Structure 1
Amino acid sequence: MTENSTPIEPEDGTPIDEAAVETVEEAARDIDEKLLQQIIEGLLMASGKPLSVAALAELFVEAERPTNDQIRAALARIAEGCEERGFELKEVASGFRFQVRQHLSPWIARLSEEKPQRYTRALLETLGLIAYRQPITRGDIEEIRGVAVSSTIIRTLLDREWIRVVGHRDVPGRPAMFATTRHFLDYFNLKSLQELPPLSEIRDLDQLNPELDLGDGSEGRVLTLPDEQDAGPDTDDEAIDPDKLIDEDEAMALAKRPLDDILGYGRDKQDQTDE
């Protein structure tokens, strides 16, 4: 019984068994917790995208809306219940979602009749530099890589919603500044940019271009980015050699490795070919 509740005595004057009442009230709370857990499980199963705690709360009418702490407690119980299952409850940038465990991907991939998408080494280099040096312009990327960046690469990253335009640098020509998106974090199973491999683990990065400081403190910064803006027209599309593409699964695995591995990927093969 609550502290302010008034006990109700039976008409025959028999004393109320307060312990029994508390047991009933506790059982009712347990039922509510189980129902809340079932509702959240159903919402996450039916949703085609991750749901945040706030988004889950908004799906309840105000009179029955649980607190954020109650929702998080239910999510914790759901996650615990998935520990020995083939799927898990994963928190990414946009919220929570159910997903198959990563080590089962070879079997799950056999369900898909479509061939996995393939990406060039140049695209992966560009994406890696945007992820670590954002916001960054196309000119900055070209300066680091030492070669021109194809508009096809930028357009592909924009179309996949892995990057967006967050502003324009106040210099002649006002070049677009690019940054990664929540969709990028969701796709690569990241909750935030701080889950990227820290720059301190990247070897010899300063040799790429000493003029661009990618070092002290960069890995810890939190970015607050403005709304997306128009990137402007493309001007220098170029054809992509199919022989230089890699599988999407391979690209995802590579994207989780240190940036110097990404930047050096494929060069050994190219050197062998040149010989």
Structure 2
Amino acid sequence: MVEPDASGTRRNRRSTSEDDVLLDRELADLPPDLRWREWMLRVEAVIFAAAEPVSREALARVVGRDCSIDLLIDDLQEELRDRPYEIVFVAGGWQHRSRSAYASAIRASQAPTRVGAPALSDFEAMVLMAIAYFQPITRGDLSKIFGKEVSRDTIASLRNANFLASGPRSPTPGAPYTYVTTKQFLSAFGMQTLRDLPDIEALEDAGLLSRKGMQEESVGAAEGEEE
């Protein structure tokens, strides 16, 4: 059993090495303007084909060593200025997205689209919001915030949506797991980092968010789901 696995690993490594050789990153034979254009096309192709935001490191594998990824992206974004889609930076990488102005047209067409973020119940959305603001946080602490038990099923639903991951163990008795949000959470909600979350103190000062408010809303959401 070991030999086939080892052989397969060697074949994969050899294939990767061959790809490196076949792809001319530097394009030294091309004049500068054509070289830049080819790099732009490569980067756009990679972003378009990717199922998730593409990191700077990934894009650097298809362009020359002295190529500025940021300037390249700037030129691509300028080219797409009048198009119904754009390249945006979310969750630590770049991604193709339809512009929000065309969302109603896309829905009206009823054409199959790329898989979007899974639908969440009102209560699941509030639990996710609480985790985003107070992470790393345990299920027990979430239950205290909402004044009712946050079930394992709720956590499992958010994990299955790839919005949650396990964080460090809590220093409290029993060392329960904590939960943190993922890059998929950032991508689904169009954020680059958690710093893009609305300032929680400002929301509390404006009366738009509070732990007490979340408790009251969670009760209403639970009653609505039961009906």
Normalising by the residue count of structure 2, what TM-score does the alignment of the two structures yield? 0.73
Q: Does 1:59 align with 2:62?
A: yes
Distance verdict in 2 for CA 1:72–1:262, change over 3 Å: farther
**CA RMSD, 1 decimal:** 3.1
- In structure 2, what is the equivalent of residue 143 of structure 1? 144
Can you list the C-alpha shifts for 1:63-105, whole angstroms capped at 9, x where unaligned? xx233x6221111000111111100111011310111112322
Structure 2 counterpart of 1:66, which letter? R
Which aligned segments of 4 or more residues in structure 1 are displaced greater than 4 angstroms?
260-263, 268-271
2:68 match: secondary structure: helix
Distance verdict in 2 for CA 1:262–1:99, change over 3 Å: farther
- In structure 1, what is the equivalent of residue 176 of structure 2? 175
Mapped partners of 1:79, 1:266: distance in 2: 45
1:167 match: secondary structure: strand
Q: Does 1:38 align with 2:38?
A: no
The higher radius of gyration belongs to 1
In the TM superposition, residue 170 of structure 1 has moved relative to its aligned partner by 2.1
Mapped partners of 2:33, 2:147: distance in 1: 62
Distance verdict in 2 for CA 1:189–1:261, change over 3 Å: farther
Mapped partners of 1:83, 1:262: distance in 2: 44
Structure 2 counterpart of 1:84, which letter? D
Count residues in correspondence: 191
1:177 match: secondary structure: strand
Can you list the C-alpha shifts for 1:225-263, whole angstroms capped at 9, x where unaligned? xxxxxxxxxxxxxxxxxxxxxxxxxxxxxxxxxxx6897
Which ranges in structure 2 are unaligned for 5 or more consecutive residues?
A: 1-29
- In structure 1, what is the equivalent of residue 111 of structure 2? 111
In the TM superposition, residue 107 of structure 1 has moved relative to its aligned partner by 2.4
Q: Does 1:50 align with 2:53?
A: yes
In the TM superposition, residue 117 of structure 1 has moved relative to its aligned partner by 4.9
Mapped partners of 1:96, 1:74: distance in 2: 12
- In structure 2, what is the equivalent of residue 219 of structure 1? none
- In structure 2, what is the equivalent of residue 99 of structure 1? 97
Can you list the C-alpha shifts for 1:196-215, whole angstroms capped at 9, x where unaligned? 11113313478536xxxxxx
Can you list the C-alpha shifts for 1:2-26, whole angstroms capped at 9, x where unaligned? xxxxxxxxxxxxxxxxxxxxxxxxx
1:202 match: secondary structure: helix
Can you list the C-alpha shifts for 1:103-140, whole angstroms capped at 9, x where unaligned? 322222322399x9542222111100000000011111
Mapped partners of 1:262, 1:50: distance in 2: 34
Mapped partners of 2:120, 2:90: distance in 1: 23
Distance verdict in 2 for CA 1:197–1:106, change over 3 Å: same
Which ranges in structure 1 are unaligned for 5 or more consecutive residues?
A: 1-26, 210-259
Structure 1 counterpart of 2:85, which letter? F
Distance verdict in 2 for CA 1:206–1:131, change over 3 Å: closer
Superposition pairs of residues 1-275 of structure 1, within 5 angstroms: 28-60=31-63, 65-67=64-66, 70-109=68-107, 110-112=110-112, 117-203=118-204, 204=207, 208=211, 264=217, 267=220
Indicate the structure whose relative CO is greater, using CA pairs within 8 Å and at least 6 residues apart. 1
